[in-house]
A and B are shown apart, each in its own frame.
Chain A
C-alpha cells in the first residue's frame, strides 16, 4: 500500500535530485565555454539560465551574466528554487517526509548529500573552486542513485522514484535542445565555423555525452547527428527516447494486471511512439523548435496525469 502523498514525495524527491545534477552539468559546460571563449561567455551563461527557466528571476537580482552572479544564483541562492542548494534541500525534505518508503541507505545518502553540499556551498564558489564543487555534486547524486539501485525493493515506490527521475531528465534534455536548437539548424550560415563546433560540444557536454557520441558515431559531430543522438538514440541514457521508454516501463509495472489502466499509461505510450521510428531529417525539416516545444508540453501533461492518476493530492 503506497500513500498518494508518499508517491508524490518520492516522485518529486527524484525530480529535484535529477534537476540538481543537471544544473551542475550545465554550469560545468558553461564554465568550459567561458574559459575557452571569453567572448561568448555571457551568451553561454544566459542560455544556461534560460534552460533552467529562471531568466526573469535572475535578471531581477543580477544586472548582467557574469560568472560570479550565475554561479551564485545556480548553486547557492536559496531564493532561487532551482539552485542546487534549494533543490537538494527540497529533495531532503521530501526524503524526510517519505522516510518510511526509503531504505536507510537511500535516506542516509540523501542526508549526507545535503550535509556535504551545505558545507561545500557555505561560502561563495570561486572560479578556482568550482570544478571541485561540481564534481562533488555529481559524486553525491551517484551515491544516492547507487543506494537506490542497490537497496530498494523493485516495487511501486521504486517506480515513482524512477518516474520522477526520467520525467525530469527528459524535460532537461529537451530544454537544452530548446534553448540551443538554433545551433543545430542546418540552415545556419556558420556551419563548420569554429563557434558552432564549440557550441555543439557544449551541448554534448551538458548531457555528459561528449565521449559517448564519439564512440557511437564516426566522424566529427554534426548538427543532425547530435540532434538524433539526444532525441532518438535509445542507447543514450539522457536521450528523450531513452527516458520515455523508462517512463513507459515504470508505468506498465504500476499498471500490471489492472483491468482498467490509468490514462497516464496511454499518454506515455503516445509520447514514446512519437520518438520511435522517426527519422531525424524529418524532425529537422518539420521544425526542431516546434517538435521540442510539443514534446515539452506533452511531457508536462503526462506529469500532471500521473499526479492525478495516483492521487498525489487530496
Chain B
C-alpha cells in the first residue's frame, strides 16, 4: 500500500497524459482553449471574481473577524468527466447510499448488523452521533439521508474512491450552480463547442425530493421551508440561495414554534404549519428540549413533533452515525451486508486508532499519514503528515495517544490533478469531487457534475475552502 507520495508517485492529471497528450474527455475543451489568449482568460477570471462578489456568493470563515466574508476562489478551467466515468461513479454512489439508508434504519431498529457480528456494538453505543431518541422511529418515506454530498477522490485512470459520505448536511451545491452560471456568462461560446449536461435543474429536483416525503399529518401540497441558523452561519448564502431558487420559505428557529402538534411559522397573518424542513442546523442545535439546552438556533419540541409525524426533517436526525469516520471504515462491509453485492466504489484505507495495532502503526508512520478526528469536518483539526512541522507531529502524537478513539489515520492519497489558470499559464493542482445526491422513496437523483474543490497551493492536498481551497465548474459530458 502506498503510504506516501513517493517520487514515482506522479499524480494522475485529468487533462494531460504523458507527452502532453490530451485525455479524451478534455479534447473538445482543449481545442477551444488553444484559441484563447492567456491574458484574456486572466481578465475573464477577475471578471468572474467581481461577479461572485456582487451576487454575494461569499463564505464566512469562523474565527476570523476581519475577513468575515470571503470569496471562495473560482478557477475558470473546468474539471471534465466523461459520460462513461460518470455512469460508473453514479452507480457506485447509488449503491453506497442505498446501503447507508438501510444501515440507518437497521441501527435505529433491530441492529441486525451488530447481531451478525459485522460491526462492533461499541461503535454505536458510545457514539455521540447516535441518537437514542431515534430508536424505533421510521422517517417519512423511510428516507434518512434525503440529501448527500459524497466526497470522491480520483487516484488514476480507473480508480475513484470515497473519502467521506457527508450524510448530515453537506454544503456546496450553490457553488456547483453558481460556478456553472458564471461559466455560461463568461464563455457562452464554449458551451456550444462542448456538450455539457446541465445542472441548473437541481433546485427543482431538490424541491421535488423534499415534497416526496411529507409527514403523516400533512394535508394537501406540503409546505416547505429551509431552516437556517441565520446570516452568521458560514453557509448562509447557500441557504438563502436554495430557498430562493426553490421558491420556499427561509426560516430561522425564532420563526418557528410548536402549535397543535405541528411546527408552525410566524407569518404576518399568524402561525402557519410547515410540513417539510430542509434543516441546515446540526442535530445538537435542533431542539433545546431534547439536545443542547443552550441552543438558540432550533425549535423547542421539534423532535417530539417529528417523532409524532407532524413534520419531516431533512435529513433525519441521527444520520451522523453513518458518516462518522470510524463507521466509514466499515462501509464496504455495510454495503455487502445490506445489498449482498461487492462495493462498486472503494474506500481509502483507514486505520482506526481505537484498535491498538492500528494506533501503533499510526504513531509509527505519522509523518506519512493523514489523521482526522472521528467527528471532524471542513478540514478543521486534521493533520497532513507529510506537510506537518515537527511540532505539529509531536502535538498530534500526544493527541493520538491520549484519545485514540477520537481519531482515524489514512495514507496520504495522491489526488488527481487538473490544471488551474495560474499567473504563468496552466498549472496542475490536486482536486476532489463532491457530487450531490437526492434520495426519494422510489429513486435517487445525482446531479451530473458536483463541486470540484481544488487546492490552489502547488503540491497541497488540502482542498477545503476553509483552508484556502478553491472551486471549479464540473462538467459531465453528454455523449
- Taking a contact as CB atoms under 8 Å apart, the answer to whether B55 and A104 are in contact is yes
Contact A3 B249 (CB under 8 A): yes
- Chain B nearest CB from A85 CB (Å) reads 16
Our pick among B252, B270, B272 for the contact of A5 (Cβ within 8 Å) is B252
Q: In angstroms, how far is the closest chain B Cβ from the Cβ of A194?
A: 48
Verify A3–B267 contact, CB threshold 8 A: yes
In the complex, chain A residues whose CB is within 8 Å of the CB of B257: 314
**Nearest residue, chain B, Cβ from A5:** B255
Q: A97-B230, A97-B231 are in contact. Are A2 and B243 (CB under 8 A)?
A: no
CA distance A82 to B265 in the complex (A): 32
Closest B residue by C-beta to A95? B56
B370 within 8 A of A: no
B243: nearest residue on chain A (CB-CB)? Answer: A100
**What is the distance, in angstroms, from B263's C-beta to the closest C-beta of chain A?**
13
Chain B residues with CB under 8 A of A210: none
Of the candidate stretches A34-42, A53-61, A105-113, A123-131, the one touching chain B is A105-113
The residues of B that contact A314 with a CB separation of less than 8 Å are 254-255, 257, 266
- Of B55, B236, B240, B268, which contacts A4 at CB under 8 A? B268
Q: Contacts of B252 on A, CB cut-off 8 Å?
A: 5
Most chain A CB within a 10 A radius of its CB, from B53, B243, B266: B266
Interface residues of B, dominant DSSP? mixed
Decide if A145 is an interface residue (CB 8 Å cutoff).
Answer: no
Q: Which residues of B contact A50 (CB under 8 A)?
A: none
CB of A196 within 8 A of chain B? no
| B183-221 at interface with A (beta carbon < 8 Å) | none
**Does A5 contact B266, Cβ atoms closer than 8 Å?**
yes
Q: Which of chain A's residues has its CB closest to B251's CB? A: A3
* A314 CA / B269 CA spacing, docked (Å): 13
Report yes or no: B236 in contact with A96, Cβ–Cβ below 8 A.
Answer: yes
> In chain A, residues 1-15, which have Cβ atoms closer than 8 Å to a Cβ of chain B?
1-5, 7
Q: Pick from A1, A3, A115: contact of B53, CB below 8 A.
A: A115
The answer to whether B231 touches A93, judged by C-beta atoms less than 8 angstroms apart, is yes
* Chain A residues closer than 8 Å to B267, beta-carbon distance: 1-4, 311
Q: Which residues of B contact A310 (CB under 8 A)?
A: 268
A311 with B243, Cβ < 8 A, contacts A96-B236, A100-B249, A108-B56 known:
no
A1 and B230 contact, Cβ closer than 8 Å, known pairs A100-B243, A314-B266: no
Tell me the minimal C-beta distance from B203 to chain A in angstroms.
12
Contact across chains for B231 and A156 when beta carbons are under 8 A apart: no
Interface check B250, CB cutoff 8 A: yes
Can you list, as one digit per residue, whether each of A77-118 has a CB less than 8 Å from chain B (1) or not (0)?
000000000000000010011011000100110011001000
Assembled-state Cα–Cα distance A7/B270 (Å): 13
A115 touches B54 (CB 8 A): yes
- Closest CB-CB distance, A2 to chain B, in whole Å? 5
Residue of A nearest to B265 (CB): A3
Point out the residues of chain B lying under 8 angstroms from A1, CB to CB.
Answer: 249, 267, 272
Q: How many A residues are at the interface, by size bracket? A: 20 to 34
Residue-by-residue, is B281-324 near A (CB-CB < 8 Å gives 1, otherwise 0)? 00000000000000000000000000000000000000000000
Within the complex, what minimum Cβ distance (angstroms) separates A211 from chain B?
34
Q: How many contacts A-B (CB < 8 Å)?
A: 61
In the docked arrangement, what's the CA distance between A2 and B257, Å? 16
Binary per-residue interface labels of chain B (370-381) against chain A in the complex, 1 for a CB within 8 Å, 0 otherwise: 000000000000
CB <8 Å contact, B244 and A99: yes
**Are B254 and A5 in contact (CB-based, < 8 A)?**
yes
Interface size on B, residues (CB 8 A): 25
Per-position 1/0 for A157-170, Cβ under 8 A of B: 00000000000000
Known: A1-B272, A310-B268, A314-B266. A99 touches B54 (CB 8 A): no
In the assembly, what is the distance between CA of A93 and CA of B270, in Å?
A: 25
A1 to B266, alpha carbons, bound, how many Å? 10
Chain A 1-35 against B: per-residue CB contact (8 Å), 1 yes, 0 no?
Answer: 11111010000000000000000000000000000
Set of chain A residues within 8 Å of B53, measured between Cβ atoms: 111, 115
> What 1/0 mask marks residues of chain B from 233 to 255 whose CB sits below 8 Å from any chain A CB?
00010001101100001111011
CB distance from A112 to the nearest CB of B (A): 6
A4 and B231 within 8 A (CB): no
Q: Within the complex, which residue of B54, B56, B230, B255 is in contact with A3, where a contact is CB–CB below 8 Å?
A: B255
Distance in angstroms between the alpha carbons of A107 and B250 in the assembled complex: 16
**Distance of A44 from chain B, by nearest CB (Å):** 37
Q: How far is the CB of A290 from chain B (nearest CB, A)?
A: 35
User: Is the Cβ of A156 less than 8 Å from the Cβ of B268?
Assistant: yes
In chain A, what residue has the closest Cβ to B266? A4
| B243 CB contacts on chain A under 8 angstroms | 100
CB–CB B268/A99 < 8 A:
no
Shortest Cβ gap from B313 to chain A (Å): 19
A93 to B267, CA, bound (A): 20
Which chain A residues have a beta carbon within 8 Å of chain B's beta carbons?
Answer: 1-5, 7, 93, 96-97, 99-100, 104, 107-108, 111-112, 115, 156, 254, 310-311, 314
Query: Can you give 18 A-B contacts (C-beta < 8 A)?
Result: A3-B249, A3-B251, A3-B265, A4-B266, A4-B267, A4-B268, A5-B254, A5-B266, A93-B231, A97-B230, A99-B240, A100-B240, A100-B243, A111-B54, A111-B55, A156-B268, A311-B268, A314-B257
List 17 additional contacts besides A100-B244, A111-B53; criterion CB under 8 Å.
Answer: A3-B266, A3-B267, A5-B254, A7-B268, A93-B231, A96-B236, A97-B230, A97-B231, A99-B241, A99-B244, A108-B55, A108-B56, A111-B54, A310-B268, A311-B268, A311-B269, A314-B257
List the 3 closest A-B pairs by CB distance, nearest first: A99-B240, A310-B268, A4-B266
